[in-house]
Amino acid sequence: MDYGTPLKTSGEMVSITINGQALEVAAGNSIMAAALMHGIDIPKLCATDNLDAYGSCRVCLVEVDGMRGYPASCTTLVSAGMVIRTESEALIRLRKGMLQLYLSDFPAGDIPDGWSEFHRTLQQVGVTDHPYSVSKTHLDAPVDESNPYFLFDPAKCIVCNRCVRACEEIQGTFALTIDGRGFDSKVVAGQDQGFFESNYVSCGACVQTCPTQALVEKSLFPEGYQRG
C-alpha cells in the first residue's frame, strides 16, 4: 500500500474528522496518509510514500473547513480539530478536469487496457476520455530506447517529477532534470542526451516510481515496444 507521503506512526496524536468520521492520527502526517490509514483512498499521481510530498498533479485536492480553495492532501499536514472532505461535487469536477487535461496529451490507444498507476487513477475517478480539440501534443515525440534495460516514451510522460525526485532523493545522482517551461517542459537525462549517452546509471529508481510507464522495463515487451 502506497500512502502517498512518508508515514508518521509515533508522536503526538491529534483528533480530526474526515468525511464525517472522527479519527485519531499522529501529528506530522499528511491528510492523504491519514486518510488512507483509515481506508479512505484519495486519488493521486505525483505522490508516493518513498518521496517527499510535492503537490504538482492537483489530483489529490480536498476541502478543509477554514481553508480557502482546495488544498493538496499530500502537502497539507493534519492538525487538531481539522474537518476534511475528500469527496464532493466540486472535488469530482476538479479531479476529472485535471485528468482530462492529462489525457488530451496521452496516447489514446493506451487508455482502454492500460495497467499503470495513471490508469488506476483514471478508473478511480471515472475518466475515460477528454473533450478537448488539441492542435499541439507530444504524441509524435520519439521513444528513447538507447538504454539496454528500459525505454522512455515522452508521449506518456505527464511531467509529475517523480523520476527526477527519485534520482535526487533516493539515489543522489541528479542525473535527471525537467527542462523547459509550460507545454515545453520535459524530462531530460544529463545535458538533454539519450539515456545511454548521459550520466544516468541505470539504477532503476526512476522506472520503479514512474506512474504512467513513460519509463518502463524493456523486458515487458519481448516482441518490441509499440506505443498505444
Residue-range definition of the domain harbouring residue 203: 150-220
Domain-located, residue 208:
yes
Domain-located, residue 126:
no
- Domain of residue 215, CATH code: 3.30.70.20
Domain-located, residue 196:
yes
Domain-located, residue 43:
no
Q: List the single range of 23-37, 74-88, 183-197, 203-217 with lowest mean pLDDT.
A: 183-197
Domain-located, residue 41:
no
Distances (CA, A) of 121 to 59, 93, 109, 115, 227: 9, 15, 17, 10, 20
Domain-located, residue 99:
no
- Report which DSSP code applies to 188: E
Q: Using 50, 70 and 90 to split pLDDT, how confident is the model at 175?
A: confident
Q: Is the pLDDT of residue 78 over 90?
A: yes
pTM here is 0.91
Mean pLDDT calculated for residue range 159-164 = 95
Report the mean per-residue pLDDT for the chain.
93
- Grid coordinates belonging to 68: 480557502
pLDDT tens per residue across span 101-151: 999 999 998 988 888 999 999 999 999 999 999 889 999 999 999 889 999
Q: Which of 107, 85, 100, 81 is nearest to 23 (CA)?
A: 81
Domains of the chain: total: 1
Domain-located, residue 45:
no
Domain-located, residue 214:
yes
pLDDT number for residue 111: 87
